[in-house]
Amino acid sequence: MAVNLPGESELRNLLLKLDEDYLLGRITKKEYDTKKGKIEAALKLLRLEADFREGKISEEDYNSRQAALMGQIGDLSEIIPKPAAPAEGRVPGGLPSPEGEIEAAEAAPTPLPAPPREAPRPPAPERAEEIPSTLEGLVKELENLDAKRKKLSDLFRSGEISDETFVNMFLEYKSRREELVGRLKSVEGEVEERLSDLLSELEEIEGRLELLKARAALGEIDRPSYERERGRMEDRRREVEEELSLLRKALDRISGRG
């Protein structure tokens, strides 16, 4: 029977947070060893479940090894941070993250209502074009930074760097990460709006492709016209899907899921 566990990324981030807590004296060596053992057992269980799903091990072997790992894990909820309740009357500004490394950001001020009868400003299409290019750079830098943080943690665990070096570089990377996530957070509303627009456009493209196919089958348009129009629509569909993937990555980073 599969067990409901956090994802591998969340568990590895918990290991990073655990290293930080131990090095900064927030927990004892005994607490560190106990919690680390639970998380590492949970990672092994995730791999075990993947092997079972892929048919690499028998059900009997899976059940036996699962029981042993579950005994090591115990109550994993003891080391998974619970999200803090938002302050009354404020929009939650914190950026929940599995590793708990990012402090709560300032809550966004509630915008003042627009003056009555004010005509809405026309949309600025060029702003929508700026969003993907801005996000791509931020998401890529965050991915590179997280890879460095993982490598730094590996170097520390293997004893290749000192506690002092680890702490100095860890805090440097943490500060840079907070800055990058803060910049993503500043465009969160625009990202969500753009995501909604693109999902609507993708649905429209799918409908137009289906209609185009039907018209071609019924002889209402010739083959060259059909191929030309279908190619144009499919090119746009690929562009929309690529941008949707980027927007979802950005929102995952903002929410701490990625």
Per-residue pLDDT at 198: 93
Classify residue 140: in a domain, yes or no: yes
Burial class (CB in 10 A: 0-12, 13-18, 19+), 27: middle
Q: How far apart are CA 258 and CA 10, in angstroms?
A: 8
Classify residue 250: in a domain, yes or no: yes
pLDDT digits (tens, 9 = 90+) for 45-103: 888 888 888 888 888 888 888 888 888 888 767 666 655 444 444 444 444 444 444 34
Is 206 found in the same domain as 183?
A: no
Of 44, 79, 114, the domain-final residue: 79
Per-residue pLDDT at 127: 45
Give the structural domain span for 177: 129-187
pLDDT digits (tens, 9 = 90+) for 116-162: 444 444 443 444 455 666 788 888 888 899 899 999 999 999 999 99
User: How many domains are contained in the chain?
Assistant: 3
Is 71 found in the same domain as 13?
A: yes
Is 200 found in the same domain as 149?
A: no
Q: Which residue has the higher pLDDT, 119 or 44?
A: 44
Of 144, 166, 187, the domain-final residue: 187
Classify residue 95: in a domain, yes or no: no
Per-residue pLDDT at 57: 87
Is 25 found in the same domain as 67?
A: yes
Q: What is the largest CA-CA distance in the chain?
A: 77
Mean pLDDT of 18-45: 81
In the chain, what is the straight-line distance between the N-terminal and C-terminal CA atoms, in Å? 27
Q: How far apart are CA 135 and CA 192, in angstroms?
A: 12
Is 197 found in the same domain as 183?
A: no
**What is the model's pTM?**
0.45
Q: How far apart are CA 170 and CA 20, in angstroms?
A: 8
Is 202 found in the same domain as 180?
A: no
Is 159 found in the same domain as 193?
A: no
Q: How far apart are CA 225 and CA 179, in angstroms?
A: 50
What string of DSSP letters covers 225-248? HHHHHHHHHHHHHHHHHHHHHHHH
Is 211 found in the same domain as 175?
A: no
Per-residue pLDDT at 155: 93
Per-residue pLDDT at 54: 85
Classify residue 229: in a domain, yes or no: yes
102 membership: H or E segment, kind and range: none
Classify residue 149: in a domain, yes or no: yes
Is 213 found in the same domain as 182?
A: no
Residue 95 gets which letter from DSSP?
-
- Mean pLDDT (the chain) is 78
Task: Give, in order, the Cα–Cα distances in Å from 258 to each of 5, 10, 211, 248.
Answer: 16, 8, 38, 10
Q: Which amino acid is at 165?
A: T
Classify residue 52: in a domain, yes or no: yes
Classify residue 211: in a domain, yes or no: yes
Per-residue pLDDT at 66: 85
Classify residue 139: in a domain, yes or no: yes
Is 14 found in the same domain as 34?
A: yes
Of 63, 79, 95, the domain-final residue: 79
Is 218 found in the same domain as 160?
A: no
Lookup: tokens for 10:
């969340």
Judge whether residue 194 has pLDDT over 80. yes
